[in-house]
Amino acid sequence: MSLDSITQSVDEAVSGFFEPIATWLGEVVFYAVPVGGTDLPLIVAWLVVAGLVFTGWFGFIQLRKFKLALDVVRGKYDEKGSAGEVNHFQALTAAVSGTVGLGNIAGVAVAVSIGGPGATFWMILCGLLGMATKFVEVTLGVKYREVHPDGTVSGGPMHYLPKGLADRFGAGGRKLGKVLAVLASFMVLFFGLFGGNLFQVNQSYAQLVSVAGGEDGALGSSAGALFFGILIAALVGTVLLGGIRSIANVTSRLVPAMAGIYIVACLAVILVNVTAVPDAVATIVEGAFNPEGVAGGVLGALIIGFKRAAFSNEAGLGSAPIAHSAVKTKHPASEGLVALLEPFIDTVVICTMTALTIVIANPASWAKARAGEDIGGVTITSDAFETVLPWFPYVLTVAVLLFAVSTVLTWGYYGLKAWTYLFGRSRASEVTYKVIYTVFAVAGSLLTLQTLIDLADAVLFTLAVINIIGLYLLAPIVKRELDSFLELVRARKAGESADDGSGEDQEPARTTT
């Protein structure tokens, strides 16, 4: 029996067993209601409303404290002797590597095909709102993290839900929090194995095959797939063994590199067509409010844009606090401010650059997709770049591989923290997880397991429901942490200058109960 027939049999068996479960959970989690001629998934509304609430609650913190967030990333407010494993920049890049991926390349192309250019406007708005949500959940992640005797750190919703609810509501809150923590851990672990690992490897392999001669090329065979899977697994396993320090060291180099390659390519297309930029921007803005030519009108563009942004930056899902919790700091809100840069980088910058490139280049495949033809998002993006850079498919392949590897690494760490919360932190437990995770990386190049990937998506967004309820209940604690950090900022500024100034960060501290 050939390897191809074995993998096909496994795919069919798994799909046959899990498909009913995936279909049912997907219908529940992504339940949509008709609004203005299009469908609005309630989970997207849930995430967007959270962004609106926290933006108002914290007084547009993503705008007022943006410069302060950059200062924190640069290490301006570092404190010696802080517990943690990585610095602010490394924590940010580790978390960004978990959100920046194929969705930024293919997902955006699909969004501007279905929702029209105007979807880009709403995507940016949703990204800006998500910055406030990310600030809240990461502040809680650092506030209630667990620092182990060996100096390593564990954090995330499985820690701040039971501890935070206990702080606010006593024993009853702790019991509820523990139940939610176990559920959150299972959800993170499940998505990490299938969405954060297997899917990323599978899609990066598919892109590599497409530029290496297709199915008839050197990598198109099952042996080529196995070789690729083993190579990725070896890389991931080696880095994963080093823990968050090793992952952060890799991602702090990989994330800027992959983002740089991609943005430079976007700028190349934009600069070659620089005279078309004003018209492209006008098209995006007009398309956001002009229903002509947009499926579902204004609401259609809005929903598609919000959906793409919410699925891309993961604000409110509870995943990012796991990476950020390892930061070296004594003030949780300092890392919360760093984290609000995540949706800005992921959605406002990278997703917008992709959309702008497609609108400016206006490739034939995009026009066909808007007319209803089934054309893959990667193809549309690749065609847009190819109008200026004929060799771009090879660059795109490098970008996809970098995106995929960094995502696999970060979700490997997320999954490890969920695993150890459920099964303990013994060496045997951790090694068992790492072996399982690396085996899944090998399987990713051989199997599609689309049903399990769909199930993983539904599971992860179920976590958003649990997590955001917790964020609402614990927001007053976040407010106190923010005031505490701003006191440090004021003290540092007072020490730098005798002039007390009137900067935005020098507002008087407020007492929150």
- 157-193 and 119-143 are packed helices; what angle lies between their axes, rounded to 10 degrees? 130
Q: Give, in order, the Cα–Cα distances in Å from 446 to each of 11, 196, 396, 405, 449.
A: 10, 16, 22, 17, 9
> CB-based burial of residue 185 (10 Å sphere; 0-12 exposed, 13-18 middle, 19+ buried)?
buried
| Among 308, 504, 320, residue whose Cα is nearest residue 414 | 320
Confidence of residue 165 (pLDDT cuts 50, 70, 90): very high
If one compares 397 and 33, the residue with the highest pLDDT of the two is: 33
Mean predicted lDDT score pLDDT of the chain: 82
- Average pLDDT of span 37-61: 89
The predicted-structure confidence for 277-323, as pLDDT tens digits, reads as follows: 899 898 888 888 875 444 556 666 777 777 777 777 788 888 889 98
Supply the pLDDT for residue 511: 38
Please give the span between the terminal C-alpha atoms of the chain, in angstroms, as a whole number.
67
d(CA 428, CA 432): 6
Determine the length of the chain: 513
pLDDT, mean of residues 202-229: 74
Q: How confident is the model at residue 500, as a pLDDT?
A: 45
Please check the confidence at residue 273 and state whether its pLDDT lies above 90.
no
Confidence tier at 335 by pLDDT (50, 70, 90): very high
Average pLDDT of the residues in 134-148: 94
Instruction: Please tell me the least confidently modeled range out of 166-175, 290-299, 356-365, 380-389.
Output: 290-299
Q: How far apart are CA 284 and CA 261, in angstroms?
A: 25
Asked whether the predicted pLDDT for residue 274 surpasses 70, the reply is yes
Position 485 scores a pLDDT of: 93
Q: How much is the pLDDT for 404?
A: 79
Residue 293 backbone dihedrals phi, psi, to 5 degrees: 75, 5
Please tell me the predicted confidence (pLDDT) of residue 218: 64
Does the pLDDT value for residue 177 go beyond 80? yes
Q: Give 409-433 pLDDT, tens digit per residue.
A: 888 888 999 999 999 988 899 889 9
Which residues are CB-neighbours of 67 under 8 A, at least 6 positions away? Answer: 504
The residues near 64 (Cβ < 8 Å, ≥ 6 apart) are 504
pLDDT for residue 321: 92
Q: What is the mean pLDDT of residues 348-370?
A: 87
